[in-house]
C-alpha cells in the first residue's frame, strides 16, 4: 500500500447507480485526502447529486465500492454513515420550519458518535450557531429565517454531527453577490479547521476560490480530474458545459 493510499479519507471506486435504463453514475472513481476542498462538477443531470447520494448512503450503489477511512461504507445505511463522520447539506434546503434554530441544530446531534443532551446540547448548539453567524437567531423558528440563513442553519446542523467529511450540494446557489462572498468565507473557515469538503457547485467563482482540485462528470462518467484551473481549461470539460443539457446517449450506450 502506498503512502497516498494510507491517508485517503474517501475512496470512490467504480461506483455505479442506475435508474431503470439510465446509468446516472457510471463506474465513478476518485479519492479525497484529509483537509482538501474538492469540487464535483458537471452540467445539469450529469450525476453529481446521485454521486453524493451514494456517498452519504441516501441511495444504494448498484456496483463498485466506497471506502471511508479505509472502511467499506457502500452497504451501510445513511445514519450509520453519518455516525462514521460524513455529513451533508441538500440542494433544496431542508430545515425543520416550526422548530427553533437551536432545536434544529440539536436534532443534528442525535446522529453524532457521542450524543449530547440537555444543557450541554444547548451550549454546543449555540457554539455552532455562532460558527455560522446565526447566534442571534437561536430562538427563532427556522421557517422565519431568510434563504441564506436557512442555508447557514443547515450547515450548522451538518456540523453538529462533528463530521470529518462534509458534502455540500450547491450550498452557494441562489445567493446574492454579498452573500456569496460571506458563504465562501464561511467554507474557507471550515477548511481552516481541518474539515474535508466535497462540493457540488455551479458557481465558478466559488469553485476557483475554494477548490484545489475538481472532479468533472458528464453523462454519469468522470471526464476529468485534477487541479481546478487545469481541469476547467480541459477541452472535454468545456465541450460538456457548452453542450448544455444531457442527451440520451448514455441510455443507448449503457442500457
Ligand X SMILES: Nc1ncnc2c1ncn2[C@@H]1O[C@H](COP(=O)(O)OP(=O)(O)OP(=O)(O)O)[C@@H](O)[C@H]1O
Site for ligand X, rule CB under 6 A? 19, 22, 24, 42, 44-50, 91, 246
Closest separation between CB of residue 22 and ligand X, Å? 6
Nearer to ligand X, 24 or 142 (CB): 24
Q: How far apart are the first and last CA of the chain?
A: 36
Compute the chain's Rg from CA coordinates: 18
Nearer to ligand X, 42 or 108 (CB): 42
What H or E segment, with its residue span, contains residue 67? strand 63-68
Closest separation between CB of residue 130 and ligand X, Å? 31
Nearer to ligand X, 70 or 243 (CB): 243
Closest separation between CB of residue 122 and ligand X, Å? 36
Closest separation between CB of residue 250 and ligand X, Å? 9
Which runs of consecutive H residues, i.e. helices, occur in the chain?
3-6, 48-56, 78-84, 101-109, 118-131, 147-159, 177-192, 204-210, 228-233, 235-242, 249-254
Closest separation between CB of residue 147 and ligand X, Å? 18
Nearer to ligand X, 48 or 152 (CB): 48
Best CA proximity match to 249, nearest among 220, 215, 217: 220
Residues contacting residue 117 through CB under 8 Å, at least 6 positions apart: none
Nearer to ligand X, 59 or 121 (CB): 59
Amino acid at each position: 500500500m502506498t503512502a497516498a493510499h494510507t491517508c485517503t479519507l474517501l475512496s470512490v471506486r467504480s461506483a455505479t447507480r442506475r435508474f431503470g435504463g439510465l446509468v446516472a453514475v457510471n463506474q465513478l472513481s476518485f479519492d479525497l485526502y484529509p483537509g482538501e476542498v474538492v469540487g464535483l462538477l458537471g452540467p445539469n443531470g450529469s450525476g453529481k447529486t446521485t454521486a453524493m447520494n451514494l456517498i452519504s448512503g441516501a441511495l444504494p450503489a448498484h456496483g463498485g465500492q466506497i471506502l471511508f477511512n479505509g472502511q467499506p461504507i457502500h452497504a451501510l445505511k445513511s445514519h450509520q454513515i453519518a455516525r462514521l463522520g460524513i455529513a451533508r447539506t441538500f440542494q433544496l434546503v431542508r430545515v425543520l420550519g416550526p422548530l427553533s434554530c437551536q432545536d434544529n441544530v440539536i436534532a443534528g446531534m442525535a446522529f453524532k458518535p457521542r450524543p449530547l443532551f440537555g444543557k450541554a446540547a444547548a451550549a454546543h448548539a449555540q457554539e455552532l450557531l455562532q460558527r455560522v453567524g446565526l447566534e442571534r437567531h437561536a430562538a427563532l423558528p427556522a421557517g422565519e429565517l431568510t434563504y441564506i440563513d436557512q442555508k447557514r442553519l443547515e450547515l450548522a446542523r451538518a456540523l453538529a454531527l462533528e463530521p470529518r467529511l462534509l458534502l455540500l450540494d450547491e450550498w452557494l446557489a441562489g445567493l446574492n453577490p454579498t452573500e456569496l462572498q460571506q458563504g465562501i468565507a464561511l467554507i474557507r473557515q471550515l477548511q481552516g479547521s481541518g474539515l474535508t469538503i466535497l462540493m457540488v457547485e455551479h458557481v465558478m467563482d466559488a469553485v476557483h476560490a475554494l477548490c484545489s482540485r475538481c472532479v468533472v462528470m458528464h453523462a454519469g462518467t468522470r471526464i476529468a480530474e485534477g487541479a481546478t484551473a487545469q481541469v476547467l481549461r480541459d477541452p472535454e470539460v468545456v465541450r460538456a458545459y457548452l453542450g448544455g443539457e444531457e442527451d440520451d446517449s448514455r441510455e443507448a450506450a449503457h442500457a
